[in-house]
Structure 1
Amino acid sequence: MYWIAVGDVHESTGVLESIPGIHEAKGLILTGDLTNRGREDKARRVLDLARKANPTLLAQMGNMDHPEVGELLVRSGANIHRQARLLAPGLVLMGVGWSTPTPFGTPSEVPEAELVRWLDETHRLAQALAARDGAAGGFHLVATIHTPPLGTTLDRTSRGVHVGSAGVRAFIEKAQPEVVICGHIHEAVGEEHLGRSHVLNPGLLAEGGYVRLGLTNGQLRASLERV
């Protein structure tokens, strides 16, 4: 069983059909920035095109999406921002979109403290969902967090400046999700470990990056791939 996760769509979905196995995947996860400062009409087109690649779609908005995009995701049943979802028995997904403040005044930014509050609240939802699933004592947790952790290869701009979130990093180091998929900084494609957490940034979808998330014989594995 595997899922495909992509980030930073920015209204460019053409690469999706080139991802090996996307039609056979259990589902497709969009981790943020569906549009370019877009509203509901732009986001709906992205969702419609993404569902042609795989009809089982989960998504969260990023900082480049207006808040009404989040409302569309809720109505469509695809939303994972501030939500926990059971991907398979013993495998829980939690999502937090938006971003911390940027110099660019993008549509959906929140203060660091608010983002941390969202992370903590959503983590509790994930734990409660695992308990209802009968796996509270040991479950796989995947977190899609649009904003990358500070001071890693995943938040470094082309000028070498680290622009991620200290709060996201602290959350990862404390909660230790098994896999974290972030984005936001397109050029910071890569992966590294923070404690036991495998953190990946697939970069801009238009450049072919994606994450393959597989669960086989109780073992969870995430791999950074490129078309």
Structure 2
Amino acid sequence: MSERTRNWIAFGDIHQSTGLPALIPGIEQADAIIVTGDLTNHSPEGAVEKVWNSIYACNPNILAQAGNMDRRNVTEFLKGRGANLNCEVRELAPGVKLMGVGYSIPTPFGTPSEVSEEEMAVLLEETYGKVGEYERLILAVHDSPYDTALDMISNGMHVGSRAVRAFIEKRQPDIVVSGHIHESRGEDSIGRSRLFNPGMAAGGGYVFISLENGELTATLKQV
């Protein structure tokens, strides 16, 4: 593990709202910005570029992935900038790996990037297969795990992904940052995995992740 303190800032569910990045304290000094999905609303022309520019103006080190509301052009845009995280693995620091899986399981709204629970399970395991050796693992996943404080809608129903939950139970990543369920901003745990959903970016929520003296920590914050 490197002795240098490293910090990362994670948020998602931007939905073309561009105000949050400039409000986050210390965003310019973060080692990377992690975006968990839903940069746009059905990806109209120019939308992903505006979201990208709002983050890039604060910090050019961006890793991002498509959520269920993003179309294919969002992934192609991110790939073109070397920033795509969906189904990819990055080493954030010696011994610290980040894996990302975007999209969501089916919703009642027929959004552009939905996959079945079975497909989600395959994506998670295939991406994990790229991780290799690590000491600490961070999972950035757009859909929140089922039956947690992070996947409850206003009527009390849990609507998150069972595949995401099963993956966390099996692989026990140190930190999980999810989203998708806007009204379930909060934190929870599954085994030793700490789970965070910062809610919609327009609501001012983000997760501050830090590596200091080999200790990986995360805190849910609000601007």
Aligned length: 218
Measured against aligned partners, the alpha-carbon deviations of 1:146-199 in whole angstroms (never above 9, x if no partner) come to: 001111110000111110011110000000000000000001011111001001
Structure-2 separation of matches of 1:40 and 1:108: 17
For the aligned residues, what is the CA RMSD? 0.9
State yes or no: 1:189 paired with 2:185.
yes
Other-structure match for 2:153:
157
Other-structure match for 2:15:
10
State yes or no: 1:82 paired with 2:78.
no
Question: Do the aligned partners of 1:5 and 1:210 also contact (CA within 8 Å) in 2?
Answer: yes
Other-structure match for 2:216:
220
Structure-2 separation of matches of 1:114 and 1:76: 26
TM-score scaled by length of structure 2: 0.96
State yes or no: 1:124 paired with 2:129.
yes
Aligned match for 1:100, one of 89, 98, 105:
105
Q: 1:209 to 1:189 in 2, by over 3 A?
A: same
Structure-1 separation of matches of 2:158 and 2:87: 25
Other-structure match for 2:139:
143
Question: Do the aligned partners of 1:151 and 1:164 also contact (CA within 8 Å) in 2?
Answer: yes
Measured against aligned partners, the alpha-carbon deviations of 1:4-63 in whole angstroms (never above 9, x if no partner) come to: 001101111212111111011111111100001114621121111110011111100100
Question: Do the aligned partners of 1:11 and 1:35 also contact (CA within 8 Å) in 2?
Answer: yes
Q: Where does the alignment leave 5 or more consecutive residues of structure 1 unmatched?
A: 128-135
Structure-1 separation of matches of 2:72 and 2:157: 28
User: Which one-letter code corresponds to 1:143 in the other structure?
Assistant: L
Structure number having the greater helix percentage: 1
Structure-1 separation of matches of 2:18 and 2:176: 22
Structure-2 separation of matches of 1:27 and 1:144: 13
User: Which one-letter code corresponds to 1:82 in the other structure?
Assistant: C
Other-structure match for 1:132:
none
Other-structure match for 1:170:
166
Q: How does 1:42-57 map to 2 (within 5 A)?
A: 42-57=47-62
Q: How does 1:24-63 map to 2 (within 5 A)?
A: 24-39=29-44, 41-63=46-68
Q: 1:197 to 1:42 in 2, by over 3 A?
A: same
Question: Do the aligned partners of 1:31 and 1:97 also contact (CA within 8 Å) in 2?
Answer: yes
Other-structure match for 1:133:
none
Q: 1:3 to 1:111 in 2, by over 3 A?
A: same
SS of 1:155's equivalent?
Answer: coil
Structure-2 separation of matches of 1:65 and 1:72: 11
Other-structure match for 1:130:
none
